[in-house]
Amino acid sequence: MELQAKKVVIGDLEFYLGYSHRALFKYMNLTSKDPDNPELVIHYYYDLAKKGAELEGKEFNYTFEQFYDALDPYPKAFTIISEAIEELLGKDEGKKK
């Protein structure tokens, strides 16, 4: 199965998300050590965005702080990214849109 990326647009920020076991396991490991740190979700999104750029052959020139700052002014950023992840995983599992 070929891995796919999902394009996400939030304000002026455009990036791709790609599924990564490494990103998921890193997130799980970090949350087990610091379960009350909501910033870890942004780290997970950041890692998925780096993987998405890799899958699409695109440059991803954001540091974590730059990525976080770019998402910060958009209240629906988490919802948009979560929906993109659900769609991405649905494609991998052969689900209908």
Domain boundaries of the chain, sorted by first residue: 5-92
pTM: 0.84
Element (H, E) at 29: helix 21-33
Using CB atoms within 10 A of its CB, is residue 31 exposed (0-12), middle (13-18) or buried (19+)?
Answer: middle
**pLDDT reported for residue 97:** 40
**pLDDT reported for residue 10:** 94
**pLDDT reported for residue 48:** 96
Tens of pLDDT, residue by residue, the chain (97 residues): 567 899 999 988 899 999 999 999 999 999 999 989 989 999 999 999 999 999 999 999 999 999 999 999 999 999 999 999 999 888 645 444 4
**pLDDT reported for residue 95:** 43
> How far apart are alpha carbons 59 and 93 in whole angstroms?
27
Give the pair of three-digit tokens for residue 30: 């970090």
